[in-house]
Amino acid sequence: MAINIPRPSLDPQFYIDNRVYTDIQTYNLEMEKIFLKAWNFVCHESEISNAGDYFTATIAGQPIVVCRDREGRIRAFYNTCPHRAVQLVPEGVGNVKNFVCFYHLWSFGLDGKLAGLPEREAYETSYNPCGLNGQDIGLVPVHVDVAHRLVFVRIDEEGADLKEFLGEAIDLFAEPFGDPDFCMKVERDQTVKANWKMQPENSRDGYHAPLLHKRLRFVSPPRPYRCLENGHTLQELDLDYERGLQNETVDDVLSKDPDLVRAFMKYPLPGMSKKRSSYVVTLFPDTLILVRFSTALIERQIPVHPGETIIQFRSGQKISDNDEILKIREKHWYLYWDEFEGNLPEDVMAYEAQQRGAHSIGARYSLIARGEKAHEGMRGDDNRIRWFWELWRNYMDLSENAPPKAELLPNVPVPFSRASV
């Protein structure tokens, strides 16, 4: 079969081979070389505020549990019993005195040490006369650290510490997330039929924001952005609903209730003001942090396979909020990140349409060539997306935004099958 697939007449850093979104070998390498090596956001400290509180996460297919021990220290372990590799606690959140495996009732302290097991003496045998050595059998720890009350884990035994990994981005989200009166909760996990890279590209793509999202026209004009070390970015934004109402660019939901719109700007989260009313911080590889004056969002991703990703959505509020203020914050949050209306469904529609289009034979390449190369500027160029892809190439040890050995891949993308994993 002869198919002409024109390659853009540009330096390869300015375009993407769309097979990176569909190729299973590329996906597997990303899990190994990016997600296992980078620091991954897991939860906010307020979600594990008491001794015995735990939160589970899956990172590159690895089951992880993060907990707070009796001394108040945050710990992380593989969520796996070392006896027979059974998942130790169910996915989600909970509180335990000890971790107890339901299969054979082996128990482990919040420090991961073996606490007890039934009929322990049966392990005293001729080939093992001393029985089990409890010092050798415990939950396997995972590197964990905290920045402004955001909890991160790193699977790889080697690598930069969290402070070095975050670099200058570390203090950009100090408020409101580090404030002791701030807390977060998971709103939902949502399955998206798209590759995990669609979301971090979209969150760095200012070009689409006023074009796709009617709600943002005049309401949230851009301020300058910066590309930060290690692949992270900052986009400062304005937030002025009055301007949106005056210019009749706010959609029906807002224009029908202008008093509610004005209430969104009455109760700032800690550190937010008219001078800094809204911002977006993206952390490589996949974490999105977004604050809009009185409400906040963190998105973390759980890649499932090349064409499917679970996105976990968190909302933020103040512990001291009364019921009235909580309702206003909730309405503000759902104004943008409701599953069925607002900005988010528009973005998800774009992710999934882009994923379907990535299977096209004739349109092999996507362009990221908008704007002169720079590490700072205004919202509408592609520099933040290019910055993501530069770090992607570095982690993957590749020279182009393309699958490894792309020249050997078939022209027609192979449909994904779970049986192929």
The label of the residue with tokens 């909302």 reads 315
| Residues spanned by the domain of 53 | 40-118+134-146
Same domain as 236, residue 105: no
Instruction: Indicate whether 98 and 218 sit together in one domain.
Output: no
Q: Is residue 170 part of a domain?
A: no
C-alpha to C-alpha distance for 101 and 61, rounded to whole angstroms:
20
Cβ atoms 23, 407 nearer than 8 A: no
Shared-domain flag, residues 54 and 104:
yes
CA distance 249 to 8: 37
As a whole number of angstroms, the distance between CA 143 and CA 99 comes to 19
53 in a structural domain = yes
Would you say 293 and 265 are in contact if contact means Cβ atoms under 8 Å apart?
A: yes
Residues 105, 249 within the same domain: no
For residue 369, count CB atoms less than 10 angstroms from its CB and return exposed for 0-12, middle for 13-18, buried for 19 or more.
middle
The reply to whether 265 and 399 lie within a common domain is: yes
Q: Residues 351, 206: one domain?
A: yes
Look at the chain and report how many structural domains it folds into. Answer: 2
Q: Identify whether residues 338 and 223 lie together within a single domain.
A: yes
Residue 157 domain-assigned (yes or no): no
* pTM summary value: 0.92
Residue 173 within a domain: no
Single residue among 146, 166, 201 that ends a domain in this structure:
146
Q: Is 324 within 8 Å of 164 (Cβ atoms)?
A: no
Along the 421 residues of the chain, how does pLDDT read in single tens digits?
567 778 889 999 999 999 999 999 999 999 999 999 999 999 999 999 999 999 999 999 999 999 999 999 999 999 999 999 999 999 999 999 999 999 999 999 999 999 988 888 777 777 777 777 777 789 999 999 999 999 999 999 999 999 999 999 999 999 999 999 999 999 999 999 999 999 999 999 988 887 787 777 777 777 889 999 999 999 998 888 877 777 665 556 666 778 888 899 999 999 999 889 999 999 999 999 999 999 999 999 999 999 999 999 999 999 999 999 999 999 999 988 998 877 888 999 999 999 999 998 888 999 999 988 888 887 678 999 999 999 999 999 999 999 997 665 665 555 554 443 3
Question: Quick one: 282 and 403 in the same domain?
Answer: yes
- Reduced to 3 states (helix: H, G, I; strand: E, B; else coil), residue 144 is strand
